[in-house]
Amino acid sequence: MHTVAQVLIGAVAALHAYFLVLEMFLWERPPGRALSGFDADTAKLTAPLAANQGLYNGFLAAGLVWALVIGSLATQVFFLVCVIVAGLYGAATANRRILLAQALPGAAALGAALLAA
């Protein structure tokens, strides 16, 4: 179960690194615009906000990678709970898809990490 937990945590970290790229660098291009559904003008206006979101997603990814490297369950739990809370908040305030794209993978990784402990 330990290996499954590590793989799931790594996948959540990779997912957040992907969000970083979409939000910080591709927001005004087709991949990022497909994510937001914004037209070109709205994407341009919201790009600074998206870049800020992307930076936070990068912090989550970095924290999860750090937690894997040091092997700390407490650090893994902390960052996975942050992912889940961000996903729940995003689903409640922005788009319900965030629940499936962010909170669910985080919860699966958290469950696996706790079972492996």
**Residue span of the structural domain in which 77 resides:** 2-116
Nearest CA to 75 out of 85, 87, 65 is that of: 65
Give how many domains the chain has, as a whole number.
1
State the pLDDT confidence band at 37, using cuts at 50, 70 and 90: confident
Give the model confidence (pLDDT) of 83-95 as tens digits. Answer: 999 999 999 999 8
Predicted pLDDT of residue 39: 92
Predicted pLDDT of residue 23: 94
Which percentage of the chain shows pLDDT scores above 70? 100
Which percentage of the chain shows pLDDT scores above 90? 90
Predicted pLDDT of residue 4: 97
